[in-house]
Amino acid sequence: MKRLQCVLWAWFCAMTFSGPMLAAEGLVKIQDLIMKDDAKCTSCHDESDKAKPLVIGQTRHGTRADGRTPTCVSCHGESDQHIREAEAGEIKPPSKTDVVFGMRSKTDALTQNGKCLSCHQGSTRINWQSSTHANREVVCTSCHEIHSSHDKTRDKREQTEICFNCHKQQRSQLHRPSHHPVLEGEMACSDCHNVHGDNPMQLVKASTNETCYTCHMEKRGPFLHNHQPVAEDCGICHSAHGTITDNLLKYRQPYLCQGCHSHTRHPTSSPSLVTAPGSGRNIPQGRGCVNCHTNIHGSNSTQNATPGTRFVR
């Protein structure tokens, strides 16, 4: 009943007041709805458009008080043919806008991304053109939702939905028993990766270790006794996205350690499960090799001879 009332009121008011007033001015002008100069678009793409383009008004792009924000044509182009055909109403649907965004668009990636980069080339996107994403023709809108108040790439609890669209290996690894808490929403891919940059593996820092140190700075050292692979690259022993072995180790101990440390001493037999307490050394159980080599990331002990050099103290 309320709806009927509303419609009747609207019809009455529009016929009684609006129409004649606009007619007196000699035109039926539709005002801008959201953005500067958007009338040429929003006269069709208004609130009844199922794609809800007006939601852009909720975003930073829709903040008109910021003079830098774009108009529709800043991104989509003047699109004269599209407008002409829409006005004529003879071709349905009308031809597309000059610039169409998305992976399946016929507009090439350079043009699409150029629209975004005309404002967003600075900051962490300076090296976008030499990034792996750019050179595989990934477009900004492959990941970002522009006409949405909720861009999943900027929400650490939902960002993986976007990244997993392409990165299946990482999705599998993050489901393994030992993993960084990304699926739990405690971390985001972008905590470690700058996907707009050209660092190795598109990391946020210049190297793997510098990236890891942002959270694990106790491993930075230097130590009196450095463990060479630790100082070189955390990724030699750890697989950051996830592994079957605890602590993100690529392989279980002793196999991992014996990839470098063989030939004397410990591998006197094949690893086997111990059966009872009291045989706490040289065993794969517990913490494995680091049962004894406690400070495997580096030791600062000056105790005599072996404790430091073998990372047992």
Partner 1 sequence: MKKMNDKFTMTTLAVALAAVNSSGAYAMEDDFDDEPSVEELSTPSSSVSFGIGHWSGEREQYGMFDGIRDDGTVLLLDADINQRDDATGTWITGKVNNLGQDNRDAEFGYERQGDWGVGINYDQTPRYAPYEVNTGLQGSGSDSQSLVTVVPGAGQDKTLNTERKEFGVNLYKYLTPELKFKADFRNLEKDGARHWGYRAEAAGNDVVFVTEPIDATTQQWEALLEYTGEKFQLNSGYSGSRYSNHESLASVSFGAATDYLSLPFDNQAHQFFVNGGYSFTPTTRGTFKLSYTHATADENIPTASAPGITLGTGAPTDFDGEVNTTLMQIGLTARPVNNLSVLANLRYHKVDEQTPEYLIDLNAPDQDVHSTPLDFRTISGKLEGTYRLPRDYAVTAGIDHRNQKRTVPAGTDNDADGQDDERYVPWREDIKETTYRLQLRKSVSETINGAIDLRHSQRDGSDYENAIHADGPINPFNISDRDRDTVKLALDWMPTNQLGMQFNYEQSWDDYSSDFSAAEVAAFNATLGAGSPVPATTMWYGLQDGSSKLISLDMDYVFNEEWRMYGWVSRDETRATEHVGDFGVSGGATTLAFERTSKLKDTGTSIGLGIKGKPSHRLSVKADLEWTRSKSEFDDNDPSVTDPLPDINSTATKLTLSAEYALTKNSDLRLDLIHQRWKSDDWRWEFADGSSFVYDDASDGTTVTKDSNQDATFVGLSYRYRF
- 36 in contact with partner 1 (CB under 8 A): no
Q: Least CB distance from residue 76 to partner 1, whole Å?
A: 15
Q: Do 98 and 82 touch, CB atoms closer than 8 A?
A: yes
Count of residues that bind partner 1 according to CB under 8 A: 154
Identify which of residues 144 and 294 has a Cβ nearer to partner 1 in the complex: 294
Distance of CA 16 to the CA centre of its chain: 53
Give 277's DSSP letter.
T
Distances in Å between the alpha carbon of 289 and those of 221, 237, 283?
A: 22, 13, 7
Cα separations (Å) of 281 from 266, 267, 289, 290? 10, 12, 8, 10
Closest approach of Cβ 311 to partner 1, in Å? 9
Residue with tokens 């985001």: 188
CB closer to partner 1, 78 vs 175: 175
- Is 172 an interacting residue with respect to partner 1 (CB under 8 A)? yes
Query: 54 to 83, contacts with partner 1 by CB under 8 A?
Result: 54-60, 62-68
Q: Which of 254, 255, 219 has its CA nearest to residue 234?
A: 219
* Cα gap 111→140, rounded to integer Å: 11
* Identity of the residue, 5 or 26, whose beta carbon is nearer to partner 1 in the bound complex: 5
Question: Of 78 and 186, which has the nearer Cβ to partner 1?
Answer: 186
Site for partner 1 in 247-276 (CB under 8 A): 251-252, 255, 258-276
Q: Of the candidates 72, 96, 231, 248, which one interacts with partner 1 according to CB under 8 A? A: 231
Rounded Cα gap, residues 138 and 173, in angstroms: 23
Per CB under 8 A, the list member of 78, 110, 148, 201 interacting with partner 1 is 110
- Binders of partner 1 in range 178-217 (CB under 8 A): 181, 184-186, 198, 200, 206-207, 210, 213-215, 217
Cα 277 from Cα 272, distance rounded (Å): 14
CB of 212 to partner 1, least distance (A): 12
141 binds partner 1 (CB under 8 A): no
Task: For residue 220, give every residue at least 6 positions away whose Cβ sits within 8 Å of its Cβ, in sequence order, or none.
Answer: 209, 213
84 binds partner 1 (CB under 8 A): no
Binding flag, residue 4, partner 1 (CB under 8 A): no
Instruction: Please state the closest distance from residue 28 (CB atom) to partner 1, in A.
Output: 6
- Is 244 a binder of partner 1 (CB under 8 A)? yes
Which ranges constitute the DSSP H helices of 191-239?
Answer: 208-213, 228-232
In the chain, the N- to C-terminal Cα span, in Å, equals 81
Among 72, 76, 82, 86, binds partner 1 (CB under 8 A): 86
Q: Quick check: 26 binds partner 1 (CB under 8 A)?
A: no
